[in-house]
Amino acid sequence: MRYLLMICTDETSIEALSPAEGEAMLAEYGAFREEMTSRGVLEGGERLRPTTVATTVRIRDGEVLTADGPFAETKEQVGGYFLADCRDLDEAIEVAAKIPAARLGTIEVRPIWEM
Q: Please give the residue ranges that form the binding site for other proteins (CB under 8 A).
A: 1, 3, 35, 38-40, 85-90, 92-93, 109, 111
Interatomic CA distance for residues 60 and 83, integer angstroms: 31
Three-class SS string for 46-78? EECCCHHHCEEEEEECCEEEEEECCCCCCCCEE
Q: Which of 22, 111 has the CB closer to other proteins? A: 111
Quick one: 106 exposed, middle or buried, by C-beta within 10 A (0-12, 13-18, 19+)? middle
CB 9 to other proteins: min, Å? 21
Looking at the Cβ atoms of 1 and 65, the one nearer to other proteins is 1
Q: How far is the CB of 32 from other proteins (least distance, A)?
A: 12
> For residues 102 and 109, which CB has a smaller minimum distance to other proteins in the complex?
109
Nearest distance from C-beta of residue 7 to other proteins, angstroms: 18
CB nearer to other proteins: pick between 47 and 87: 87
As measured in angstroms, the least distance from the Cβ of 41 to other proteins is 8
Distance CA 10, CA 3 (A): 22
Q: Could you give the dihedral angle defined by the CA atoms of residues 10, 16, 101 and 49, in that order, rounded to the nearest 10 degrees? A: 70
